[in-house]
Structures are given as C-alpha cells and as structure tokens.
Amino acid sequence: MKVPGRLVAEALKSLFRRRATILYPYRELDKVHLPEGFRGRIEFDRSKCIGCQLCFRVCPAKAIEIVDDEKGKRPIFYIYRCIYCAQCAEVCPTKAISMSKIFENIALRKEDMVVR
Amino acid sequence: MIEKILATVFFPGAIFILAVSLFYEWVDRKLYARFQNRVGPHLAGPFGLFQPIADLIKLLSKEDIVPMATDRFLFTLTPILAPALILFACMFLPVAGPSGIISFEGDLIAVIALLSIYTITVYLAGEGSNNRFASVGAVRAAVQLLGYEIPLTLSLLSVALAAGSLSIRGIVEAQAERGLWFIAGIQAIGFAIFIIASQAEMERIPFDIPEAEQEIVAGWEVEYSGKRLALFRLSKDLELFLLSGLGAAVFLGGPIGPVIPGLEPMLYTIYFILKSIIVLAIFTLVRALFARLRIDQMVSFSWRYLMPPAMILIILTEVIM
Amino acid sequence: MNFEVPIGPQHPIHVEPLMLRLKVEGELIVDADVDVSYIHRGIEKALELRPYIQGLYLVERICGICNAAQSLCYCLNVEQLLGKEAPPRARYLRIVVEELSRIHSHLLWLGHYLHTLGFETLFMYFWRDRERVMDMLELITGNRVTTAYNTIGGVRRDLPPGAEQKLRRTLDYIEERVRYYEKVIDSEPTILARTQRVGILKPGDAVRMGVTGPHLRASGIKHDVRLDDPYSGHDEIPFNVITWDTCDCYARVKVRLRETSECVNMIRYALDHMPSGDYRLKIPPFFKAPPGESLSRVEAPRGELVHYSISDGGDRPYRYRVRTPTLANLLSVVEMLRSRGDYEVYIADVPAILGGIDPCICCSARILITDEAKKRRMITTLDDIIRFSRGRRVERR
C-alpha cells in the first residue's frame, strides 16, 4: 500500500520529543557517558615499570619510545600517534600502563601530547 | 510621496522583507531540525536566531571568484536579478494592510509572472556558468518549470475566480467580506496544489531536482561562490517569504483578523506573519517527509496528479460561483 | 547534448575518491567507466613489515566500518597458520560483536542511502538509532568505531557485567525501529519511485561478475559465507539468509533492512547460548608462524571478505593479500549504469545505483589496471611483487 508521507506522525512526534543531539562541545558535558573499559588517553605509572620494553615492541603505531632515566629504561608515549588499541596496556606485565577515560586529546603544544 | 518611499524602503518594504525572510529561513531550518530530532541552528544569537544573517555575512565577505570559462555578463547579472525579482514580487504582499505597497488589478498575475522570470534567471545562471553540472541543473530547472507552473497558476486563479478579482487586495477583501477563509471549502484542494507546486518552485525536497546535491553537486549554482552565492541564497529566503506570504494572503485570509482600533497596521502585520508561518511550517513538513523525485517522474507526477484536480477545481469554482 | 560527466574523484555522494566517467545524452547515461585507484595506501606492504600482533591493528584500519570483520578475518587467518582455534566463548563473543557491527554498518548504509535519495529525515532517524548500537559497541569493546576486539586466539575482553541487559534492551529498540522503517519505506511512493526497477542486476550477471554480499543476495542468490563456510561457530546459530528477487535497488534496501533484524536475532541467540569458559587462548604477543599459506573468508557487512597470507616461518607474513567486498561489487556498477534497450539509466540514478553496493573505496584501492587499449600485458609473479617491495624494505627503528 502506497501512503505518501507516512513519516508524518513520527516527524510531528519528534517535534515534542527531546532532541537526540548532545550539544557536546558547548554545553551538556555531563551527558557524555563513557562505559567502564573505555580506551582513552594512556596513563603511565613510573613506579611500577620494570623497563621490559614489551609495550614498545607491540605498539602498532610506533607511538612509544624507550629512553633511559635515573631508574633505567622507561617508555615515553606520544599520544598524537596513539591509535588507542590498548595493546601496550594489555601486554604490560606489571600493569604500569592503563587507559584512562580522557578522550579530549587536543593540545596546542606538542609537549602536552606526550605522556611521561 | 516621502511616505511611499519610506514604506518601500523600510516598513513594510525592502528592509523589513529582508529581515523577515531571514527569520523565515531560521524558522524553516529550526523546524526541519526538530522534525528530525536535531537541534538546528543554536549558536548565533538566542536559539541561533541570527544564524541566517551570520551565514549571509560570511558568504558576502568571501573572495569573489569568477571562473574563466563563464559568461561574465550572465554571471554578474543573474545573482543581482534573482533577489531583485523576488523582492519586487514581495512588494505585492499585503503585509501591513489589505493591500501591498504596490497594488493594481491583476497583480496576482504579475507575481506569477515574476516567479516564472525568476526560474528563467535560474536557467540563465546555470547555463552562464558553463559547467557540466550547472548545465544539467539549469535544464532540469527549465523542465521542472513546465511541470509545476501551470498547476500553481491554476490553483491561484481558481481563488481569483472565487473572489471575482485578479488582485491580491481583492482576494483578501473578498475573504474578509465572506468572513471565511478560502481554505475552508473546495479551495482546500487548491491550497494543497499550491503547497506542492510551491515546493517545486522553491526547489525543495521532493522537488529539489535542479540542485540535487547528491547527483549534480549543487546543480545550477555550482560555480557561484562568495557574494554571488549569498545573493542566490538571499533570493531563496525571499522566495520562501513570498510563497508562504502568498499562500497566507490568498488562502488564509491575509492580514485580516480581529483588530483593536488604532493598532491596525501592527496587528495586521502580526496576523500576516503568523499565518504565513503556518504555511511555512507546512512547507517544512513536506520537505521532511519525502525523497527526491527524478525529473521525469516529477513532470509526469505534476501532469498526472496536479493538473487534473487543478482543472476540475477551476470548473467547480466556476459552477459554484 | 552529448558529453561526459565526471562523478568524482571528489563528489558529495561519496566521501572517498572514486572516479566514474559517465557518457551522457541529456540525462540518459550511455556508457560508464570506473576507476578506484586514487587512494592506494600500501597496507599489504605494511603488513609484511610488521609482526603479527601489530598487523592486527593495521588490518582494522583497512575499513573503519567493517573493522570487526577485518580483524576477525585476520585472526582466523593467523590462527589457521598456527593451527589453533579460538575457544567456544570467544567464538560467540566474536559473533556478537560482528553482528553488532553489521547492524551498525547496515543502519549507516540505509541512512546514507536515503540521504542520497534526498530523504533527509529518515537519514537522521537511522543515524540516531545507529548511535545506540555504537554505544553498545563502546560498552563491549571499549571504542565506538575501531573496536580492537578480536585478537589472535580469541577476543580481548569478556562481556562486562550488566552489558547483557543493556544489549538486549538496545536490540529490542533496534528491532522495533527497523520494523517501523521497513513499513515506512514500503509505503513511501517517492522512495519506491527512486529505487524500484533502478539498477537492475540479473542473477546471471551477478554471478558472472563475482558480486558478493547483500548485493548478491538482492539479486536473488542465496550466498552467505556464514552459511556456506561457517567460520566462527555460525553453524551452531540458526539464521535465515535473506534474499530478494527483484534485483533492483529496492531489493538492496530490503535485504539490508531484513538482515538487520536477522542480526538482532542472531545476537539474542548467541547471548542465550553463550558458552562459559575462557574467552582467549594464551598466545604470547610475539611468535613465529610455521611456514605455509592460509586463506580465510568472512562475511563482512558489505560482502565476502577474503584474506590470504603466506608465511615463511618468520614472525611476520611473507605476503598478505586482502580482497575486500567493494572491489568485487564495483564492476557490477558499470554494468548497471549502462542503458540498453528499454532499461534506461538517468544521471539522477547514479547515486542510487552506486550507493546500492555500499561502496567503500579506501578498502579496495589495491588493484593493478591492465591497459587493454595498448595491448600491453604484464605478468607479475608473486616473487616479483615481493622483490619489488623488499628491495626498498624499511627496517624498524
């Protein structure tokens, strides 16, 4: 059966329904819900790191660099290259690497996009 | 004399019409967004009210590009001609009283003629820009004119027949005399035809064939940018105002309504705007409900489903009168 | 009027660079030519340079929308090389995520397709509802689009607590909405006018051109890798292969709409019968695959996806080849665009026809074009290809 404009009821209904859009960057920041286990910006705990370099070796985006500091070898994470696959967090034997819920990874300076 | 010039320039003339038509664009966009469960413009001004003006100013301030292969004369003339034609046609609308700024016996025909000339301007704009997409769009605009123009004219003429006058003023006054709008009665069919044909005139879904973005990029206006595009956009807004205003004047009784003595011009304006916003809302709703037709489907649709009712309506109106 | 209209490489209907040269007479298309090689990305070569575990995330980026299918295909391939098989729970979880991403892909396509037909409202509705599916993907896998869920030997995380109820609620919602949209699409004359008897591909032609996926099923041929070659426990899950025999764009819409509801049922079944136990094998991140070759097939949302790899016993593939569904389907577009006899194609039908195959050009641009006009033939052996690429092999830092 051809009924032109069958959507009219739905369209008129949505006039009075709450809009589906979240005005995210301007208002309603509290409406952004992130589930547990969301893969956001990498967080790194230096005290747990044993310098095994596994994270460096698995990183598909080559976002991790190994440097020496006073305690030995340690990784540096370049977030602007990170693809948020969390393989480094998964492979880390001491769980020194974890994924936070921070997803707004925008910075004006390059140094802000580096996790040390 | 001075009064006449002031009326033409300020209220209810050019400046007022431009402001209102930009407001109508906002209403259209906001309603369309709400039908789709979206927000719509919300950044410039309260509820995004100034978004159309912001868009216009932005476009006006852009670089003016004239591609090498275009016909320079047409490329310059048509963006000026298009809004000028529609603005002129808007002067016939009875905004602040039963008659427009210009009013004479037969001005309804003048408005229809101006709308047709506007479509021819569109055709010239497309052909003048010498682009393949623009040519296709221009030809589509011209073919589409064959489809909708006659039903549009007939639907307006049947009202003129019923009112016994070819002037908008006469039609408005006839409705005031009857105490009944023309939409109440058999002219409701005419109203439906008018809505559909206007949708084609304004190149809106389901008849946005000449500028179908997904098919021919932007159709006839593909080469226009900057202030030329701004003028075309402005003429679209003016057209929105013109057609919803025409619908309100002809079918919904125009600016006539209960008045408090002394406040007539203001109340007339308010009534007119409210009524034309109702027509505008119908336009927007139609836009939200359909997919775009193909050009051959559009023409055959209007000859199959718009023409016969329009003809029957004319005959019926003549018989009843 | 007789001229050539170029659709692409940049055009509003596709965000990806595809070149369609159309010879038109007025609005009528008489001939068409297609070129996809604007976005060669060198992914196959890059795969040869990476250990398997890194290749997994690269493969996901072949196609953003069917990333679950891509990574699943890669994992199946590598597991086959290793001679291992994912545990039952992993297989079911893989099905859940794969079907969820199929729902998300089909809803995306339906919305986009209606958008190309100029139906903005349904486009917005479809994408609004798709957002729910994206939330579910985010809940289960940790990301909205690039799920990074499959891994070699299983999946990377178990179903989080409470996810099942949310998932079921979303499925109910999606099912109800899809049913409603199907009713709308079936009764809306403007959509029917634009899709029925447009872009007809006869079953015989479809088979001859090697068309796959929903596009093939819309030509009335019952072919589905999930049915023909159950790769992840699909033989345990009952499902219908949706076909439609009008062979036109309407059939393509119909098949995808019905498939969406079918996916919902499959996920429900998988949730009901979810086996317990491990969800991944213990496979070290770095390993050497035994020499050999392996081929895996997955029914991606757009059609049959084929991964082929050769291992020389190293820690990275010797050669990796990906055949994406769009490449198989793209040839049929040319066939559908040619007007012949009383089958007429207009410029206005191009988005409808091209959109009908759900093109994903970025996936496909890795083909070699032979120059038939100049009668030039090039025979390139596998070793030649390897030598070409290995000659300039870049060592890792």
The residue in chain A having the minimum alpha-carbon distance to the alpha carbon of residue C177 is: A10
pLDDT-wise least confident of A58-72, C61-75, C212-226, C336-350: C336-350
- pLDDT tens, residue by residue, B118-154: 988 989 888 888 888 888 888 888 888 888 888 999 9
Euclidean distance between CA atoms A86 and C207, whole angstroms: 42
Q: What is the mean pLDDT of chain A?
A: 85
Cβ contact C328:C210 at 8 Å: yes
Across C37-53, average pLDDT:
82
Cβ-Cβ contacts under 8 Å between A and B: the total is 37
Domains of chain A: 35-115 (3.30.70.3270)
Which chain C residues in 23-82 lie under 8 Å from chain A, judged by CB atoms?
A: 50-51, 53-58, 61
- pLDDT tens, residue by residue, B3-21: 778 777 777 778 888 888 9
Query: Is A37's CB within 8 Å of C160's CB?
Result: yes
Question: Can you give the CATH number for the domain in which C172 is found?
Answer: 1.10.645.10
Residues of B in contact with C199 (CB under 8 A): none
Which has more pLDDT, B85 or B262? B85
Q: Please check whether residue C3 lies inside any domain of the structure.
A: no
pLDDT-wise least confident of B74-78, B249-253, C87-91, C355-359: C355-359
Q: Which domain holds residue C134?
A: 40-330+363-391
Q: Please check whether residue C309 lies inside any domain of the structure.
A: yes
Euclidean distance between CA atoms C82 and C102, whole angstroms: 28
Hey, which residues does C96 pair with through a beta bridge? none
Q: Please check whether residue C10 lies inside any domain of the structure.
A: no
Residues of A in contact with C135 (CB under 8 A): 35
> Is residue C385 predicted with pLDDT exceeding 70?
no
Cβ burial C17-44 (10 Å sphere, 16+ → b, else e):
bbbbebbbeebebeebebebeeeeeebb
- pLDDT tens, residue by residue, C330-345: 888 888 888 777 788 8
Distance (Å) of CA B70 to CA B76, B130, C221 = 10, 5, 50
In the prediction, which pLDDT does C332 show?
Answer: 85
> Is residue C394 predicted with pLDDT exceeding 50?
no
Residues of A in contact with C184 (CB under 8 A): 6-7, 10
Cβ contact C102:C325 at 8 Å: no
Q: Tokens standing for A29?
A: 């920041």
Of C26, C27, C191, the CB nearest to B291: C191
> Is residue C167 predicted with pLDDT exceeding 60?
yes
Overall number of domains in chain C: 1
Chains that touch C (3 or more CB pairs under 8 A): A, B
Residue type, B220: W
Q: What is the percent of chain B where pLDDT is above 70?
A: 100
Cis peptide before B206 (omega within 30 of 0): yes
Query: Is C53's CB within 8 Å of A4's CB?
Result: no
Query: Is A20's CB within 8 Å of C128's CB?
Result: yes
Best of C114, C120, C187 to mutate (most A CBs within 10 Å, chain A)? C187
Cβ contact C59:C71 at 8 Å: yes
Q: What is the mean pLDDT of chain C?
A: 83
Of B292, B233, B244, which is closest to residue B272 (Cα–Cα)? B244
Provide the pLDDT confidence category of residue B42 given band limits of 50, 70 and 90.
confident
> Is residue C152 predicted with pLDDT exceeding 60?
yes
In the prediction, which pLDDT does C366 show?
Answer: 55
| Domain spans, chain B | 11-320
- pLDDT tens, residue by residue, A66-80: 888 888 888 888 888
Q: Please check whether residue C310 lies inside any domain of the structure.
A: yes
- pLDDT tens, residue by residue, C211-222: 888 888 888 888
Provide the pLDDT confidence category of residue B305 given band limits of 50, 70 and 90.
confident
Q: What is the ipTM of this complex?
A: 0.88
Euclidean distance between CA atoms C211 and B70, whole angstroms: 43
Question: What residues contact B305, with CB distance under 8 A and at least 6 apart?
Answer: none
Provide the pLDDT confidence category of residue C381 given band limits of 50, 70 and 90.
low
Q: Please check whether residue C340 lies inside any domain of the structure.
A: no
In the prediction, which pLDDT does C375 show?
Answer: 60
Question: What residues contact B265, with CB distance under 8 A and at least 6 apart?
Answer: B96, B97
Q: What is the mean pLDDT of chain B?
A: 86
Phi and psi angles of residue C71, each rounded to the nearest 5 degrees, phi first: -70, -30
